[in-house]
Amino acid sequence: MYDYVIVGGGNGGLVMASRLSEDPKVNVLVLEAGNWVEDLPEVYIPGMIGAGQAFTSLNWAYETLPQRNMNGRSLTISAGKALGGSTIINSMIMTRATQAQYDAIGALNNSTLWRWDELLPFFKRSEIFTPPNPDQVAHGASYDPTVHGLPPSDANKGKVKVGFPNYFYPQSDMFTQALMYTGDDGLRFQRALDLGGGDIQSRVGISSDSLDASNNTRCSAVCGYITPFLNRRPNLHIIAGAMVSKIEWDDDRIDGLLVARRVEYFVDGDSVPRYADVNADAGGEVVLAAGTIGTPKIMELSGVGNSSYLKSLGIDSVLDLPSVGENLADHIHSWANAITNASITKDVLANNETFKAEQLALWEENRTGLYSAAPRAIGLAAPTDLLPKDRISSLLNEARRNLDKYATEFANGNDALREGIKAQHQIALDLYEKDEQIPIELNIEPGYSGPTPRDGRGSKNYTTISAVFYSPLSRGRTHISSASYTAPPAVDPAYWTHPLDVSVLTAGLQTARKVLRTQPLSSIFVEEFEPGEKVGESDENVEAYLRTVAASDSHEVGTMAMMPRLLGGVVDTRFKVYGLKNVRVADASVVPMPISAHLASTVYSIGERVADFIRNDQARRTKPLVRQME
């Protein structure tokens, strides 16, 4: 019998496991479908991101349904399948969105709980931040001490280690200078003091990474939140290779709410289910943390979701909550890349075995060289950095005129959610209007990145600038496709359904192309490779090109949205699922609308936040008992 059963040992789930098991009196169980993989070089060596098994056996690699606006292509949404979840395979970038965006999520919920000022202590609590050393400062790393969790505070508590890498490609600094270029047609970005500081528009800076600066290794959710207590907490149980199929419910409701009694799971593909019992009578809870695609799948298999749809699949519906799995949003990106005359790029590692071996030896010996490099310089573009003001106005006017039309289309017959999506769009459009939106991230890859396989691009050296589209208005959905827990869900992010999304990413890629040609990056520019001459310069052609290549950034959110129930929300501001007595959600699925950041640091703070709510509720429950004993 467990006090807390945590489904999914990833970014959000392991924070919960660590924090809740601080109390030796409570029994915590984590059920994780993947395995322990911390000892794989492609996991712990920063420069090996994406290598080895990272994008094969450690990746759920959810294939989307064919995307109407992407020339019928299926795109792949990656998500980590291992203890540590996506923090095992992600790019280690630790940025946060803007203050205005976190505040807007609070406004959407009529709640002061979700405001930058309220969240900041949880961001700080989730990390041990190592300030940059003089060499890193010389390469542009900087930070604001007021927004980070600095040592030695609570250093023995679980926290993710955050720091800067030991190697900086020269292209990184050139990119920064190019974004700050003040000559004709220059973007004139400012240098960011801190990409986690909440004030990041039109700024460029070096991102800190989820990295243990003391030994230049990735710090995943396992490294941060589990390793410090491994085998030291008899009340913390972790079962790896455990695929959860569903939650089972009590026959009786309490206050009209369904009570979770046990969790069904299968270990290593066994055909016989096992069960983890939840101590519901003493306030025990199930915490779902299986990710934006995994969590709604488990809800639906448990009979919670759109009841008529579930019945059509032969599933007993226990609670009609039609927004489960709806409201899916994801970031997409594309690349502008050029052949370069720079002699050191990531391509050399791929093309020259001797050089690769030398660099690996450097990392092994003293944690330097190309393998000690983690991403990367990042620029955050405001709308007016991308498009002329009159074009922005006309796009916004059109979006406002069509507010109802698109909200209706995206809500899929769900009236409450239609109002929720309308409210989200209004917030997003207001941010655009005030030039406080950050629709595009530009980041540099000192090497080839793009859609062309190796044999199609030869052994040349490249520079790539990615344009990541951060503020999609398009919303889709993910739902189970059958009653079998082994069947992959039908994932439809409906990429680029809203016309504003099309115009903005197109402008973002055009801006990335321009940056490649801006000094000082222009000094290493030889010839644009992609989109390239064949695509040409017109926006129409670039838009058509993007439909053939744009890829998911694997930043999916929104399927268990924290919103009022009247707006089609699924969880309340204490992350409890509406209609359920003892089920909360602690992963990226609760983020109701896309934010302008890579998500890991926000998910860590969500985990901290949920743990705090649970512990407060637990304390409230036990208080009368203490009084009685007194």
Ligand X SMILES: Cc1cc2nc3c(=O)[nH]c(=O)nc-3n(C[C@H](O)[C@H](O)[C@H](O)COP(=O)(O)OP(=O)(O)OC[C@H]3O[C@@H](n4cnc5c(N)ncnc54)[C@H](O)[C@@H]3O)c2cc1C
Distance CA 379, CA 521 (A): 14
The nearest distance, CB 199 to ligand X, in angstroms, is 18
Residue 237 annotated to the active site: no
Selected binder of ligand X within 445, 572, 587, 608 (CB under 6 A): 587
Determine, following the binding rule CB under 6 A, whether residue 91 of this chain makes contact with ligand X: yes
By the rule CB under 6 A, 75 interacts with ligand X: no
Nearer to ligand X, 554 or 596 (CB): 554
Looking only at residues 260 through 299 of this chain, which bind ligand X when binding is defined by CB under 6 A? 289-292, 294, 298
Pattern 502-541, ligand X, x by CB under 6 A: ----------------------------------------
Contact call for residue 374 and ligand X (CB under 6 A): no
Rounded to 10°, the helix 600-629/116-125 angle is: 90
Out of 92, 515, 524, 593, the residue judged to bind ligand X by CB under 6 A:
92
Helix 116-125 and helix 99-108, axial crossing angle in degrees, nearest 10? 110
DSSP state of 283: T
Q: Is 162 in the site for ligand X (CB under 6 A)?
A: no
State the minimum distance, in angstroms, from the CB of residue 354 to ligand X.
29
Give the shortest CB-326-to-ligand X separation in angstroms. 17
Cα dihedral angle (480, 487, 552, 556), rounded to 10 degrees? 40
- Rule CB under 6 A: say whether 387 interacts with ligand X: no
Is residue 306 a contact residue for ligand X (CB under 6 A)? no
CB 87, min distance to ligand X, A: 5
From CA 357, how far away is CA 363, in angstroms rounded?
Answer: 10
Query: Are the CB atoms for 591 and 105 separated by under 8 Å?
Result: yes
Q: How many CB atoms lie within 10 A of CB 536?
A: 11
Q: Which of 93, 348, 386, 392 binds ligand X (CB under 6 A)?
A: 93
Instruction: Extract the tokens encoding 99.
Output: 């203050």
Distance CA 209, CA 600 (A): 10
For the CB of residue 499, give the shortest distance to ligand X in the complex, in Å: 27
CA distance 80 to 85: 4
Q: For the purposes of burial, counting CB atoms within 10 Å of the CB of 430, is it exposed (0-12), middle (13-18) or buried (19 or more)?
A: middle
Q: Does 476 bind ligand X (CB under 6 A)?
A: no
Strand partners, 444: 465
Length of the chain: 630
**Residue 125 vs residues 105, 211, 328, 439, 596: alpha-carbon distances, Å:** 21, 16, 29, 28, 21
Catalytic-role residue among 139, 148, 425, 555: 555
* Least Cβ distance, residue 552 to ligand X (angstroms): 9
Interaction between residue 304 and ligand X (CB under 6 A): no
563 vs 599 by CB, closer to ligand X: 599
Coarse DSSP helix, strand, coil percentages of the chain, rounded to the nearest 5 percent? 35, 20, 40
Stretch that binds ligand X, among 74-82, 317-325, 428-436, 469-477 (CB under 6 A): 74-82
For residue 465, the one-letter residue type is I
102: left (phi > 0), else alpha (psi -120 to 50), else beta?
alpha
Rounded Cα distance between 356 and 361, Å, is 9
Find all residues with CB under 8 Å of 233, minimum gap 6, and list them.
21, 24
Q: DSSP string covering 563-579, please?
A: S-GGGT-SB-TT-BBTT
Nearer to ligand X, 12 or 558 (CB): 12
- Which pair of tokens denotes residue 334? 């594309």
Q: Which of 18, 67, 69, 87 touches ligand X by CB under 6 A?
A: 87
Scan residues 230-249 and list those touching ligand X (CB under 6 A). 243-244
Contact pick of 46, 47, 85, 592 for ligand X (by CB under 6 A): 85
Q: For ligand X, which is the closer residue by CB, 203 or 218?
A: 218
Neighbours of 190 (CB within 10 A): 14
- Only segment of 2-10, 157-165, 251-259, 521-529 that touches ligand X (CB under 6 A): 2-10
How many residues bind ligand X, per CB under 6 A? Answer: 40
- Using CB under 6 A as the binding rule, whether residue 600 contacts ligand X is answered as yes
Which among 339, 336, 337 is positioned nearest to 527, based on CA atoms? 339
- Out of 3, 5, 9, 103, point to the residue binding ligand X (CB under 6 A): 9
Among 200, 429, 494, 599, binds ligand X (CB under 6 A): 599
Quote the CA–CA distance of 356 and 358 in Å, as a whole number. 5
Q: Which stretch binds ligand X (CB under 6 A): 10-18, 145-153, 401-409, 456-464?
A: 10-18
Q: How far is the CB of 80 from ligand X (least distance, A)?
A: 5
595 binds ligand X (CB under 6 A): no
Cβ atoms of 76 and 63 closer than 8 Å: yes
Give the shortest CB-68-to-ligand X separation in angstroms. Answer: 24
Which lies closer to ligand X via its Cβ, residue 61 or residue 193?
A: 61
Task: Answer yes or no whether residue 550 interacts with ligand X by CB under 6 A.
Answer: no
Name the 3-class secondary structure at 420: helix
Residue 98, CB-side half-sphere exposure with 13 Å CA sphere? 25
- DSSP element (H, E) containing 394: helix 389-401
Secondary structure element (H or E) that encloses residue 528, with its range: strand 525-530
Number of residue whose CB is nearest ligand X: 10
Q: Could you give the string, one character per residue 182-201, with x where binding to ligand X holds by CB under 6 A and - elsewhere?
A: --------------------
Nearer to ligand X, 238 or 431 (CB): 238
Instruction: Name which position in 2, 3, 10, 468 contacts ligand X (CB under 6 A).
Output: 10
How many beta carbons lie within 10 A of that of residue 360, not counting itself? 18
- Candidates 19, 331, 576, 598; binder of ligand X (CB under 6 A) is 598
Residue among 19, 81, 124, 576 that touches ligand X (CB under 6 A): 81
Annotated active-site positions, please? 555
Q: Which residues bind ligand X (CB under 6 A)?
A: 7-13, 31-34, 78-81, 85-87, 89-93, 243-244, 289-292, 294, 298, 554-555, 587-588, 598-601, 603
